[in-house]
Structures are given as structure tokens and as C-alpha cells.
Amino acid sequence: MVVEEKPQKNVNSFEVFRFIKSLSKPKTISLYFKKNTKMKTKIVIVGLGGVGGYYGGLLAKQYENHSDIEIYFVARGVHLQKIKENGLKVITETGSFVAVPALATDNVSEIGTADYVIMCTKSYDLTATIEQLKPCVGEHTVILPFLNGADISERIRTLLPGIEVWNGCVYIVGRLNEPGVVESSGGVHDLFFGHENLTSERLLFMEKLMLDAGIKATMSENIRMIIWRKFIFISTTASLTSYFNVCFRDLLTDEERKKTTLSFMSEVAAVADAEGVVFDYDIIDTTVRHIERLPFGTTSSMHSDFKAGRNAELNTLTKIVIELGAKHGVVTPTYELVYKTLKARF
């Protein structure tokens, strides 16, 4: 769950972040190098909702009319039209500003070849989004996704073979208030990114570029662990609040629901272990304690999406655990039951 604030009573991202921060911090690298090129560096932000709007807005504000860097927005519909007319208004806890990109468009062919593409769309749109982006992806383009899911980067690498794809996750409360206006609240805007197999000049350059724009960015060598510890919490709570039609805390107040919740966590933790992810703490115990601290009446975005009849990230948050389990020979009977039930119900 990239925690996007919705009219429904969803989880507070500050609580999620406080849980993550209570765990051991990943090893990070603070050095950086400025990219050396005669042409401007093109950075494309795809998806201008609460996540992409906030981070993309800060980048566009910092690098407007910059001699070396250009920020592009990819959006659609009325939202795009309002950005073209008035810029993107970003409301934060400390004030508001208007971000003006080098270009806002729904046709990436107008951008040319991008150096970096930052993806902030819904995970169920991934394949269609990659297809839309292909005209601006060149041999040296880097893709940085901030989508829900444990295997997003792997899926993109399959869709774009030979292209460098990083990993990323964010902790933020953000929403699209109306076309042309996004809002961030809750005081949490932390962003993590990296590559599981390398540390490069380009990674360090991106960290510096984001920090200079006022983004609380950390380039981590252990990005897969960061993504998986978030995924275990999100996959469990999103799937089971939807399955039982209850809020977070109610997953533990009934013995049958608690038993199912613990089974869910055990199965996804076993899949993470099979994927080579190592935690230096009891991930199940800490996730249970986190659920116990969440406010009564709060629920997941997926649960809210199901109730509202919207498309939901069932495949990315639930089905993927079954698929990865089958890949490694890890049995996931509880996941299979819940997935089949939700698929039939919605």
C-alpha cells in the first residue's frame, strides 16, 4: 500500500511509518555524483495523484527553468488539462505551491527519450502504463517505480528487457483533491529507492537531486528488505480486511480472524524467506503489534476500493504471494482461499 488518503477511513500512513522506523534502519550511502552531460537530464513523472503529484511537484518546483534538468508530467483527462492551464497546485502541511513542468502531456512521444522515468500509477495499470511509455524509453533510460507490490521491478524488467529498473517505496498520506490539485497531510513523506545488485553514479545522482528538491529520500543498498517488510503488512491487512469486511483492529479481536491473520503472515513470511529476503527481527510479531496500535475504525485502501466498486490491487497484493509460493514450492493455502473468495465476490 502506498498509503493514499481517501474519503473512506483508511490507515494512517504516520502509523505505518512509525512502525517501519521502529525497526532497524537500512545501510545507506550518502555520497553523490552530478551527472555529466551536455544535454539536459529529462525526468518524467508518470501518474500525478497523491504520490506522483507531491514528489513530482517538488521536483518541478526545484528545477523549473533549470539549465541542466527538465521535469515532465504525464497525466490524462481533466487533470492534465488543469495542469496545462494553471500548473499543478500542491498543498502540504506547511503551505502550498504551484509546480510548472517543462511539459505536461498524455503523449510521451512529445518528450523524446527520457533519462529517468518515475512511475506512480496503480499497479493494476502496470502493463498498459509501460506500453504507453515505450516511445520515451531508450537504451539508457532508468525506470524507478513507486507502485504497490513485491515484484514490481521484476515485472517491469520482463516488459522492458535490457532496461535498468530500480526499486522504490514511499510512506506518504496523499490524495488528488480535484483536477489540478493534490494534497499531502500527516507529516510523513519518506521515500526509499535503490537497486538490489548495484550502487552506481546514477543512483547517487538521483538521491542528491531529490534531496536538493526537499524530498526526504534515502538510497538504500537493502531496498528489497524495505519493500518486503512493508509488503508483508500491506498484503495481510489489505487482503483480510477485504475478506472479513472489517477494520484493521478487528482482525485480532476474534479468535477465528486472528488465526487466519497469523496463518497469512506465516505464509507470506515464508515466501519472503524463499525469495532470499532476510529480516533481523521477528517480522510476524512486529506486524501483529503494529496492527494492535492502529486506530479503531481504520481500514485498508483495497477494502475501501472493493466496497466502492472500484478496481482493486488484488493480484498485486494477494495473488502474487500464491504465484511466488508456487515458484519456490512454498504452500499458501490460506492465501489461496482468500484470493478465490475475493475474486468470486468482487
User: Quick one: pLDDT at residue 298?
Assistant: 82
Average model confidence (pLDDT) across the chain = 89
Stretch 207-223: mean pLDDT, rounded?
96
- Cα–Cα dist 344/107, whole Å: 36
Residue 7 reports pLDDT greater than 50: no
Q: DSSP 3-state assignment of 164?
A: strand
Residue 3 reports pLDDT greater than 80: no
The confidence band for 198, taking pLDDT boundaries of 50, 70 and 90, is confident
- Cα–Cα dist 190/230, whole Å: 13
User: Quick one: pLDDT at residue 17?
Assistant: 47
User: Quick one: pLDDT at residue 32?
Assistant: 33
User: Quick one: pLDDT at residue 38?
Assistant: 64
Stretch 21-25: mean pLDDT, rounded?
44
The residues facing 167 across adjacent strands are 194
Residue 30 reports pLDDT greater than 50: no
Q: Which of 335, 309, 340, 338 is nearest to 322 (CA)?
A: 335
Q: Residue 216: which H helix or E strand, with range?
A: strand 216-219
| Residue 179: Cβ within 10 Å count | 16
Per-residue pLDDT of 100-140, as tens digits, reads 999 999 999 999 999 999 999 989 989 999 999 999 999 99
Stretch 79-94: mean pLDDT, rounded?
97
The confidence band for 24, taking pLDDT boundaries of 50, 70 and 90, is very low
- Cα–Cα dist 145/194, whole Å: 11
User: Quick one: pLDDT at residue 207?
Assistant: 97
Instruction: Tell me the CA distances in angstroms from 82 to 136, 181, 223, one per residue in order.
Output: 23, 9, 35
Q: At 57, list the grid cell.
A: 511537484
User: Quick one: pLDDT at residue 29?
Assistant: 31
User: Quick one: pLDDT at residue 21?
Assistant: 46
User: Quick one: pLDDT at residue 76?
Assistant: 95
Residue 9 reports pLDDT greater than 70: no
Stretch 280-303: mean pLDDT, rounded?
88
User: Quick one: pLDDT at residue 343?
Assistant: 96
Q: What domains are there in the chain, each with its CATH number?
A: 27-221 (3.40.50.720), 226-345 (1.10.1040.10)
Stretch 64-78: mean pLDDT, rounded?
97
pTM metric for this prediction: 0.82
Q: At 11, list the grid cell.
A: 490507515
| Residue 289: Cβ within 10 Å count | 12
